[in-house]
Amino acid sequence: MRFSHNLIGNQDNYKHCHYPLYPPGTEYISSYIESRGGPFPATQFFGLQAFIREYLMNPITLEDIDEAEFVLREQGMHFNRANWLGILEDHGGFLPVEIEAVPEGLVIPARNVLVQIINTDPKYYWATSFFETALLRSVWYPSTIGTVSWMCKQILNEALARTSDAPEGYVRGMFADYGARGVSSLESAALGGMAHLVNFHQGGTVTAQLAAKHFYNAIDTVLMSGPNSEHAGFMAWGKENEAAAIKNMLDVFESAGFALVLTDTYDHENCVKNIIGRELKSQIESFPGLVGIRPDSGDLVQVTSDTTEWLLDIFGGETNSKGYRILPPFIRVVQGDGMTLETLPQALAELERRGLAADNVVFAMGGGLLQRWNRDTMNFGQKASAVCVDGTWRDIAKSPVGSPFKKSKGGRLALQRRDGEYVTVPKGSIPESENVLEPVYRNGKLLRMHHFEEVRANAEVPVPRSYYEEFAVKVHAEKAG
């Protein structure tokens, strides 16, 4: 069934009864999308181009109209067939709207315009708000995941700056996405995993790389990984042969130069101290690449530091220029079990408290990265802000007494970068050359192609520390506690 890609049905059904509610003579509606605030003071904007290329560049067909009419009337919902036949005849089936947006990958403070939409044909004034359901969903999810990932990156950067001699850019390989099995759909895995790859290059979500190449024409290396283990393979050998199972993995993947070994199948401490640290010690020391030691259970804060200390006792290490101990380059701890935006600073703080460099560990996150968030996390909303009736524009905005944070903006909007900070201003109040918003779509055509490498570069644009300070200082707070 095609209905999932039928734009007429890819909305809340009540959208079909909204068009007659506007004043007579309505010609144009302008609306915008913003994050109205939440736990994060800033938003990494991402994902709009994927939606445009997947849904808005495919014209509505007569079959789509027939299908939508049947389904919606069956639901008891009003359906205006003439509206859609008109779009098919007048615009070749493409939605007659223009979309402006922030360059993807940029990090913008909350409560600023990220996307602005307006209809291009006064006959279809209702088109602006009609596809809000699909458009808002396409923005809030990848932008929220990207923001979480970006915040994790800032937390790691702060820890590296205090405790590590790692080179610039090292952080991109320190945090992996393990969330594909924990999300609600394949599309969520692709979009969320791709948002994470804007900030890092580690992960296990194959569809994230495919999406980056398909929607953003990624050329450079998007995702890096290596041979990992699972408990089933080790359990199949039997508990008494755990050492043989791990040795087999080291033998098989010696040529790959990477082996990530699960050590908690039975007794993590015993496995690290006696199997890794005695029976297989010489093989690991001569392994031509990196061996990752992965505890996958227990108190993640304590077990991460404990494992690092055990490995330092076994394999030795060095003290870096900042006075923190670091493992030899052939071995690292890998920690992803139970990792969240709250537990990451705790794990880093414990490493720091014990005098251990942050780059002893490669971190990963699953459901805590891709699934625990919703639209209300960052209070994303799309609201109409201006209407043109009988040739006259007027500003419109909502201001609910019971929810002040839902107060919306009025007027046509622009985004200006002023003294290193972003601020929403009235459209026309600044030269268009200073408007950060840029047209990206009009009447079925993509006007601006963001390549994935460009998105990644945008994510590195310096921002005020206030955008992430609250999360970065958690490491110090946890350490002090």
Kindly report the average pLDDT of the chain as a whole number.
Answer: 94
CB-neighbour burial class of residue 191 (10 A; exposed 0-12, middle 13-18, buried 19+):
buried
Residue 333 is given by DSSP the state: E
CA distance 363 to 260: 13
Instruction: Indicate whether 50 pLDDT > 50.
Output: yes
DSSP three-state, residue 186: helix
Q: What is the pLDDT of residues 162-186, one digit of tens each?
A: 999 999 999 999 999 999 999 999 9
CA distance 126 to 18: 8
Q: What is the pLDDT of residues 427-468, one digit of tens each?
A: 999 999 999 999 999 999 999 999 999 999 999 999 999 999
CA distance 328 to 332: 8
* Tokens of residue 320, six digits: 């870096």
DSSP line for 282-305: HHHHT-SSEEEEE--SS-HHHHHH
Angle at 292 between CA 291 and CA 294, to 5 degrees: 150
Place 480 in a pLDDT band, splitting at 50, 70 and 90: very low
Lowest mean pLDDT, pick from 131-140, 146-155, 292-301, 404-413: 404-413
How much is the pTM? 0.95
Q: H or E segment at 208? A: helix 206-216
* Tokens of residue 212, six digits: 């980056």
CA distance 455 to 461: 10
Q: What is the pLDDT of residue 114?
A: 98
All domains of the chain, ordered by start, with CATH? 3-143+379-476 (3.20.140.10), 165-370 (3.20.20.70)
Tally of CB atoms within 10 A around 298: 16
Lowest mean pLDDT, pick from 72-81, 238-247, 359-368, 408-417: 72-81
Is residue 337 a contact partner of residue 300, using CB atoms and an 8 Å limit?
Answer: yes
Lowest mean pLDDT, pick from 118-132, 218-232, 429-443: 218-232
